[in-house]
Chains A and B, each alone.
Chain A
Amino acid sequence: MTTPPSDPVIAARGLTLTLGEGSGAVEILRGIDLLVPRGQILALLGPSGSGKSSLMAVLSGLERASAGALIVEGQDFAAMDEDALAQSRRGRIGLVLQAFHLLPTMTALENVATPMELAGMDKAEDRAAAELEAVGLAHRMGHYPVQLSGGEQQRVAIARAIAPRPVLIFADEPTGNLDAATGEAILDLLLARRAETGATLVTITHDAALAARCERIVTLADGRIANDTLLA
């Protein structure tokens, strides 16, 4: 990276995350500096325990950093409590997780509609139906997660993340629980849907194919950024 972006969607400086207290305290992130321009597709790589998931958690507002500054879509995440962070995610940040984490007691349609309803958006169910159609699950709208295959569940999760048209999408190993063929299809879908909305995508992956399709690779090691490479 050469010139810092003028209007980054993520601006992190000196981010630190320490878990536990006293002699049991563990430093997970050690002074992360990261600027992410709008619309970029960024892959977070690194060995197990390097802090990838924790960094994603902090950047998405799921966890508060122990120290450092973090501005996400103009909001000072470092100054917010958990409830404020949750509110900040509404309509702005979409998450796709490895284990899908759909709400088991809601249908596919209801799962996709929920974040829009939380954000107070109109016609949430209509928009959810349209998004499910876009991911090829129009015929599964009334099905519960237990009635869907792994790939179908991840499609629903993608639809749920994208339907509110967030500016940021975080995907934590979105193909980790899927077989190769299904995983590839999911990747295609994720990237295609991202392209239609223009959202910034930050993804953790061990999948080299996905990493190759990103514009930037940030490699973590031992809680620090070890490498930051622009591919395009």
Chain B
Amino acid sequence: MTMALPWRMAWRIARRDLSARLRGLRLLLACLFLGVGMLAAIGTLTGSIERELTLRGREILGGDIEVRVWQRGLSPQETAFMPQFGRTSTGYRMQAIAVNGEASAPIALKAVDANWPMVGRLVLQDGRRVGAPGDGAIYLSKGTAERLEVRPGGTVTVGGAPLKVGGIIASEPEMLAEGFNLGNVAIVSRAMPERAGLTSPGAMFQTKTRVLLPSGADPKAATEAIEAAFPSAGFEFRTRDNAASGTERFVSRMGEFLILVGLAALVIAGIGIGGGMSSYLEARRGSVATLKVLGATSGDIARIYLLQIGAAALAGSMAGLAAGVLVTPLMGRLLEGLLPITPGFALDAGALAMASAYGLTVALVFSAPPLLRARGYPAMALMRARISPLTVSARDLALPVGGGLLLLAALVLLTASNPKLSALFLTGAVGMLGLLALLGIAICLAAARLPRPRDPVLRAGLANLYRPSAQTGALVTALGFGLSTFVLLAALQTSLENNILARVPDRAPDYFVIDVPKDREAEFRAVVARTTPEAEVQTIPAMRARILAFGPQGAMTQVNTLDLENLPDNAWALRGERGITYQAELPRGNEVVRGKWWPPNWEGEPLVSVEDQLAEAIELKVGDMLTIGVLGVERSARVASIRRIDWQDMGFNNVLVFSPNTLRDAPHNLAATIELPPETASRGLLGQLVKTFPATSVIETGGLLREARVLLGQMSTAILAAASVTVLAGLAVLLGAIAAARASRLYDNVILRVLGASRRQLLMMQLTEYGLLAMMLSGVALLLGSGIAWAVMTQVFKFDWLPNWPRVIIVLFSGTTLIAVCALAGSLPLLRVKPAQALRVI
């Protein structure tokens, strides 16, 4: 049995054989630097944001616990109970409209008491750090003030009450904890909504009480005590530990998606690593043979060069990690508008460990084939001319390549919050790479069968695409992946945008109206009809409730026993309060798929109709029971039917619709939609509604769409920037391929020059080769990228296929031009070689 060279000795020989300038390993270093750097940056950025959100929980929440309830204030008993835990601050949150003359703006009205803010300070634009505004005053956001054309000292009206503008908000504490709102925040004293009648029973508002606990007190214990004392109050709780859980979830998922994109880029870079390693080890054929002459076995050779590759991979990864950490604060600044928190410098050991694990695994997987080939270089290579090409058996490759790929997949799936989605992404990426590899082969075969140009220079350029050592296949795979990703993202983004622009205005109502008093419905309809008689008005009763229990009678599942952070996607309605309604007739755009709708004027047992995806997610059937908490009161109803909702209808779509007898006696207002026929002007409808119903909030869909477009645009830019790393990785592969082919290209160029070709002709040869390659890549990327985008848009999202083709083509053209320019730039030095000089060398 042969004895292996000790690792220490193998490292000694490996270290000596490593050239000080690491020539030949630079591609490995560059690819790992890029790939690991990106993964480290993304991981560090998301990790530090999540950590900040957790560490600054108290600051974000404005306290240690928050108690929320809908559509009512706290009872005297509840108010008296809270202070035993610590300092408290209670206020209201609601939608409202601020008016200044003819101008109006939707606002997220935040009414606060004298104790607010308990953590942090409100900073106004004039530099003042203030607390709650005085009675009769309001602090406005910059956007609202501009829209209303009002300055500090001016007056606006909210809910019919005049308020003096006390200042413009520069920085607001608890902004993240307040969540998504329609309209900018506006801050008033707590008494204001009460006086203006905005908190009357049934109105759509939230009461929020925050409690600042003494040091060392357990927030969870406090919330449990409050829940135990008031079990039917309908309270929702948040603590400093999950102050911005929605934001955290978004950041986490976005980070995971970008990690997958970065991993794809790293795998592309792996193609470059494989090519670079092949060239490196091929150049060391003589050294390998010499070592074998001196007594090294093939196992010793494998150890020696594995150590070299490992050392270089480690160096490249470390450099990538350092760059990733250093670039994170810069990324935070660049993405300031999009990120909830701007993180500074941070060291996230977990993220860095994962990034280096990915990098080193990819390096191993792609270096294994050339390394296994190299260990087979025979000693006789020194004494005999070139021997036939060596192959590596699939069995030899199984462990390093197969094992490495399995390890990569395992790392991804085990660290994903949604393994199914990650598995889908991986499958898609592998499928795309496989398809591109096949296309690469097909392109080579097709190029070989094209009619041979008469011009020898052009002929040589075309032949370079399919000559035996050509890397066309690897380039199509590596560059094609990056370009296809670009096309895919551009097509998806523009298609989504056009769907929003083109379809949503057609289908969505022009106005949503909240808090129409129930007893003034006729008056409301009359105001609309007077201003815009063509308008179509729909009203529904609007309440908020929480699902408390569900399931077969006698065996119901209590929602508070479930892990609400990890619910199936379609069971989102179990989390917190949501809009409910009651209806005598089946709502428009809904279809009963199981059970039956109740008859008109039903006065029997309370019934409920449940949306089909929610019912399926929680295994709810016709005949089961559902219990909700409305305004602190529990109500139960039997499931009479399961409904399918056409969500694209964009009207009122409620997952829970009750029979009228269940809820009609509960205090509530109405919500309304107003649809205008196309090309119909609103003729001051908004102004009339605001004047007649000051406590009502009117939301224009147009404004929402504008905000959605801006957000979509920002997210798309961030994702496209991340995806550009895949193109950079592809460029690394391209430059590696050019370097690997340098000797043979130099030979060709020199011989052609000797035969009389001019530099211009040689340039044409390069242009032919890279021009053809770029054209083919564009075609492949356009087909593949837009094909996948079409499938995602129409089959997954069920939207219309509406890409903006000029923008898609511009994105594709930019990427392809960059590739062609880099290819030519990499090849230009070969044109400057003097034939006589070169002939002495080759």
Kindly identify which residue among A53, A86, A105, A117 contacts B379, using a CB–CB cutoff of 8 Å: A86
Contact B294 A89 (CB under 8 A): yes
Listed stretches B10-18, B186-194, B320-328; interface member:
B10-18
- Min CB distance B337 to A, Å, is 52
Interface residue? B290 (CB, 8 A): yes
Proximity string of chain A (83-116) to chain B, C-beta cutoff 8 Å, 1 when within and 0 when not: 1101101110001010101111111001000110
A192: chain B residues within 8 A (beta carbon): none
A82: chain B residues within 8 A (beta carbon): 292, 297-298, 378-379
Kindly identify which residue among B286, B293, B296 contacts A95, using a CB–CB cutoff of 8 Å: B293
Interface residue? A212 (CB, 8 A): no
Interface residue? B397 (CB, 8 A): no
Interface residue? A172 (CB, 8 A): yes
Interface residue? A138 (CB, 8 A): no
Contact A106 B383 (CB under 8 A): no
Contact B380 A57 (CB under 8 A): yes
Contact A110 B293 (CB under 8 A): no
Listed stretches B1-9, B476-484, B555-563, B627-635; interface member:
B1-9
Interface residue? B295 (CB, 8 A): yes
Interface residue? B84 (CB, 8 A): no
CA distance A80 to B298 in the complex (A): 14
Contact B293 A89 (CB under 8 A): yes
A62: chain B residues within 8 A (beta carbon): 293, 379-380, 383
CA distance A83 to B790 in the complex (A): 56
Proximity string of chain A (15-55) to chain B, C-beta cutoff 8 Å, 1 when within and 0 when not: 00000000000000000000000000000000000000100
A118: chain B residues within 8 A (beta carbon): 5, 9, 13, 291, 294-296, 300
Contact A115 B380 (CB under 8 A): no
- Min CB distance B11 to A, Å, is 11
A101: chain B residues within 8 A (beta carbon): 286, 289-290, 293, 382
Contact A83 B299 (CB under 8 A): yes
Contact B12 A104 (CB under 8 A): no
The answer to whether A102 and B295 touch (CB under 8 A), given A97-B382, A118-B5, is no
B286: chain A residues within 8 A (beta carbon): 101, 104
CA distance A229 to B12 in the complex (A): 46
- Min CB distance B381 to A, Å, is 10
- Min CB distance A140 to B, Å, is 17
The answer to whether A87 and B18 touch (CB under 8 A), given A82-B378, A102-B290, is no
Contact B16 A106 (CB under 8 A): yes
CA distance A160 to B290 in the complex (A): 12
A56's nearest neighbour on chain B, judged by CB, is B383
Contact A160 B383 (CB under 8 A): no
- Min CB distance B6 to A, Å, is 8
Chain B residue total in the interface (Cβ 8 A): 31
CA distance A212 to B37 in the complex (A): 66
The A-contacting residues of B in range 373-394, CB under 8 angstroms, are 378-380, 382-384
- Min CB distance B200 to A, Å, is 86
Contact B17 A105 (CB under 8 A): yes
Interface residue? A63 (CB, 8 A): yes
CA distance A100 to B56 in the complex (A): 69
Interface residue? A221 (CB, 8 A): no
A87: chain B residues within 8 A (beta carbon): 2-3, 295, 297
Most A Cβ at <10 Å: residue of B6, B290, B299, B378: B290
CA distance A103 to B287 in the complex (A): 6
Most A Cβ at <10 Å: residue of B5, B18, B19, B299: B5
Contact B296 A86 (CB under 8 A): yes
Contact A119 B295 (CB under 8 A): yes
- Min CB distance B24 to A, Å, is 11
The B-contacting residues of A in range 103-139, CB under 8 angstroms, are 103-107, 110, 114-115, 117-120
B379: chain A residues within 8 A (beta carbon): 62, 82, 86
Contact A105 B2 (CB under 8 A): no
The A-contacting residues of B in range 2-43, CB under 8 angstroms, are 2-3, 5-6, 9, 12-13, 16-19
CA distance A105 to B20 in the complex (A): 9
A57: chain B residues within 8 A (beta carbon): 380, 383
- Min CB distance B202 to A, Å, is 84
- Min CB distance A101 to B, Å, is 5
Proximity string of chain B (277-312) to chain A, C-beta cutoff 8 Å, 1 when within and 0 when not: 000000000110111111111111000000000000
CA distance A90 to B2 in the complex (A): 12
A83: chain B residues within 8 A (beta carbon): 2, 297-299
Contact A117 B17 (CB under 8 A): no
- Min CB distance B670 to A, Å, is 84
- Min CB distance B386 to A, Å, is 14
A170's nearest neighbour on chain B, judged by CB, is B293
Proximity string of chain A (54-76) to chain B, C-beta cutoff 8 Å, 1 when within and 0 when not: 00010000110000000000000
CA distance A95 to B300 in the complex (A): 19
B300: chain A residues within 8 A (beta carbon): 86, 118
CA distance A66 to B16 in the complex (A): 36
Contact A117 B298 (CB under 8 A): no
B383: chain A residues within 8 A (beta carbon): 53, 57, 62, 97, 172
Contact A86 B287 (CB under 8 A): no
CA distance A91 to B294 in the complex (A): 9
CA distance A63 to B6 in the complex (A): 25
Contact A103 B297 (CB under 8 A): no
- Min CB distance B374 to A, Å, is 14
CA distance A101 to B291 in the complex (A): 10
- Min CB distance B254 to A, Å, is 46
Kindly identify which residue among B6, B17, B292, B384 contacts A86, using a CB–CB cutoff of 8 Å: B292
B293: chain A residues within 8 A (beta carbon): 62, 89, 95, 97, 101
B296: chain A residues within 8 A (beta carbon): 86, 118
Kindly identify which residue among A95, A110, A114, A119 contacts B291, using a CB–CB cutoff of 8 Å: A114
- Min CB distance B5 to A, Å, is 7
- Min CB distance A192 to B, Å, is 22
B17's nearest neighbour on chain A, judged by CB, is A105
A106's nearest neighbour on chain B, judged by CB, is B16
B378: chain A residues within 8 A (beta carbon): 82
- Min CB distance A109 to B, Å, is 10
A110: chain B residues within 8 A (beta carbon): 16
The answer to whether A105 and B298 touch (CB under 8 A), given A57-B380, A62-B383, A86-B379, is no
Kindly identify which residue among A53, A89, A105 contacts B16, using a CB–CB cutoff of 8 Å: A105
Kindly identify which residue among A63, A89, A102, A106 contacts B380, using a CB–CB cutoff of 8 Å: A63
- Min CB distance B429 to A, Å, is 38
CA distance A202 to B240 in the complex (A): 85
A117: chain B residues within 8 A (beta carbon): 9, 12-13
Kindly identify which residue among A90, A103, A119 contacts B17, using a CB–CB cutoff of 8 Å: A103
Proximity string of chain A (186-204) to chain B, C-beta cutoff 8 Å, 1 when within and 0 when not: 0000000000000000000
Residue pairs across A and B with Cβ atoms less than 8 A apart, 11 shown, are A62-B380, A86-B292, A86-B295, A86-B296, A91-B295, A105-B16, A115-B295, A117-B13, A118-B13, A118-B300, A119-B295
The 8 closest A-B pairs by CB, nearest first: A90-B295, A83-B297, A115-B294, A118-B295, A89-B295, A106-B16, A83-B2, A62-B379
Chain A residues with CB under 8 Å of chain B are 53, 57, 62-63, 82-84, 86-87, 89-91, 95, 97, 99, 101-107, 110, 114-115, 117-120, 160, 172
Contacts A83-B299, A91-B295, A118-B5 known; 4 new A-B pairs at CB < 8 A:
A63-B380, A82-B379, A83-B298, A89-B294
